[in-house]
């Protein structure tokens, strides 16, 4: 394979790794950056194309089938993804048409598939002469089972959710109030030419008019702010944190919510951060190090044991940011559409139930536990709470309200495309 690949060749390889081989999108992009050290322009282009192909795969795949006489052989699937890279540029980007075609065709040689140049060139130029349409591109870009689940759960919002899943999300940041007020940080953004506004639905949030590299954010390396969606920021608000509290973050990595809780504690109280993965705990360590925050962190399975030194009288607050399908954050992680399977849900449901059962005993009387997921499926959310409270007689469900969320019988739900944030579920329980 050619030593120096152009951006289209890199994009095709990454898409192939993610969609066909099951690699995480974040991991594949990180490897690309560390191995090839692209300049910012090339890195940005590859990221845009890879995210775009993952979002619009169903649509692009349908377009490709209209110009291919026969499917491309499995051993040459990277060329199929190269075609999708070409179609994505022609359908969704402002890339000059001649450059999109020429660079994509040129990638065939770099991928050691010289034979494919004629095929790729023919398909892309045929498309330019006679662009194929897809009846419902948004729905086509969701697996059938996922479309059905969304429609069953949210019939009045299904189209809005699917549409939002395929859009670029806004860049949201959380101001570390230990360094600046939100108003002060908005002024600092203005001073460096970054347009932004206060997030109306979170206490510490700012929404940028346009995404930027984090290196351009004032004081990012010093811990002045973090990148975090509005919906994720609501956790610290709902958890009702007070100075001096002893808090457990039971599924803590990679640490965004852990950090937000610590910022609210303002160097008072105690926080235990637990996660089942040592590798993810290292990510948590990096997050806290950048923000100059400290927590007692432990590797452990919070669903089956208590392997860390929990306080004898229990915790004042417990956050259960439960492992879930992630179907509420597809717009930020479009590879979820390709990796998640219907069979995953039952296993996740068992893990969620076990977490609730195991951690409830660690909560002190009058303490509060926040169960949350980044899912939009009732089976992971309200149904879990229904089943849990049916077995307990020592709890109440706190009456939590938010102006930009759906109020369910038990808890709150945000939906992408409906609430201008990711899809999250929250239910705050208090022990009697």
Strand pairing report for 315-321 and 246-249: parallel
Determine if residue 307 is left, alpha or beta; phi over 0 gives left, psi from -120 to 50 gives alpha, anything else beta: alpha
Catalytic residue (one of 374, 398, 427, 432): 374
Determine contact, residues 250/273, Cβ cutoff 8 Å. Answer: no
Number of C-beta neighbours around residue 250 at 10 A: 25
Task: Find all residues with CB under 8 Å of 35, minimum gap 6, and list them.
Answer: none
User: Which pair of tokens denotes residue 250?
Assistant: 């039971």
CA distance 320 to 353: 11
- SS3 at position 75: helix
In angstroms, the Cα distances linking 351 to 168, 301, 339, 384 are 31, 10, 19, 11
DSSP 300: -
CA distance 100 to 85: 9
Contacts for 112-116 with beta carbons within 8 Å, 24 or more apart? 112/1, 112/2, 113/76, 113/78, 113/79, 116/76, 116/79, 116/82
Number of C-beta neighbours around residue 156 at 10 A: 8
108 is catalytic: no
**CA angle 254-273-358, nearest 5°?**
110
- Per-residue HEC secondary structure of 111-175 comes to CCCHHHHHHHHHHHHHHHHCCCCCCCHHHHCCCHHHHHHHHHHCCCCHHHHHHHHCCCCCCEEEE
**CA angle 346-351-354, nearest 5°?**
125
Sign of the torsion angle spanned by Cα atoms 231, 237, 243, 245: negative
CA distance 8 to 45: 9
Strand pairing report for 225-227 and 363-373: unpaired
Rg, the chain, Cα only = 23
Residues assigned a catalytic role: 374
């Amino acid at each position: 394979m050619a030593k120096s690949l152009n951006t289209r060749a890199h994009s095709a390889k990454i898409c192939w790794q993610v969609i066909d081989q099951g690699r995480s999108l974040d991991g594949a992009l990180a490897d690309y950056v560390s191995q090839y050290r692209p300049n910012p322009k090339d890195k940005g282009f590859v990221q845009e194309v890879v995210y775009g192909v993952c979002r619009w795969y169903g649509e692009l795949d349908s377009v490709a089938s209209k110009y291919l006489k026969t499917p491309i052989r499995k051993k040459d699937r990277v060329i199929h993804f190269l075609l999708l890279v070409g179609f994505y540029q022609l359908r969704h980007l402002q890339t000059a048409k001649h450059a999109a075609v020429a660079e994509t065709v040129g990638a065939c040689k770099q991928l050691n598939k010289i034979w494919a140049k004629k095929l790729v060139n023919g398909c892309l130029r045929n498309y330019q002469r006679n662009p194929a349409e897809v009846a419902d591109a948004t729905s086509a870009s969701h697996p059938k089972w996922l479309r059905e689940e969304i429609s069953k759960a949210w019939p009045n919002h299904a189209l809005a959710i699917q549409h939002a899943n395929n859009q670029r999300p806004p860049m949201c940041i959380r101001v570390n109030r230990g360094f600046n007020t939100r108003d002060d940080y908005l002024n600092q953004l203005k001073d460096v030419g970054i347009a932004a506004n206060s997030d109306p639905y979170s206490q510490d949030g700012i929404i940028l008019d346009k995404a930027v590299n984090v290196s351009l954010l004032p004081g990012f390396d010093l811990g002045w702010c973090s990148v975090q969606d509005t919906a994720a920021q609501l956790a610290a608000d709902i958890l009702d944190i007070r100075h001096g509290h002893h808090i457990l973050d039971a599924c803590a990595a990679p640490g965004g919510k852990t950090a937000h809780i610590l910022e609210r504690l303002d160097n008072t109280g105690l926080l235990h951060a637990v996660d089942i993965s040592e590798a993810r705990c290292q990510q948590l360590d990096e997050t806290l190090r950048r923000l100059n925050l400290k927590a007692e962190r432990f590797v452990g399975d919070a669903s089956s044991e208590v392997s860390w030194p929990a306080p004898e009288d229990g915790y004042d607050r417990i956050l259960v940011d439960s492992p879930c399908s992630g179907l509420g954050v597809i717009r930020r992680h479009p590879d979820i559409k390709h990796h998640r399977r219907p069979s995953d849900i039952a296993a996740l449901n068992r893990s969620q139930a076990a977490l609730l059962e195991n951690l409830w005993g660690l909560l002190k009387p009058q303490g509060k536990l926040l169960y949350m997921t980044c899912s939009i499926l009732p089976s992971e959310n309200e149904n879990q709470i229904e089943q849990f409270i049916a077995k307990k007689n020592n709890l109440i469900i706190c009456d939590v309200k938010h102006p930009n969320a759906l109020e369910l019988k038990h808890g709150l739900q945000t939906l992408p495309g409906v609430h201008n944030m990711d899809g999250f579920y929250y239910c705050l329980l208090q022990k009697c």
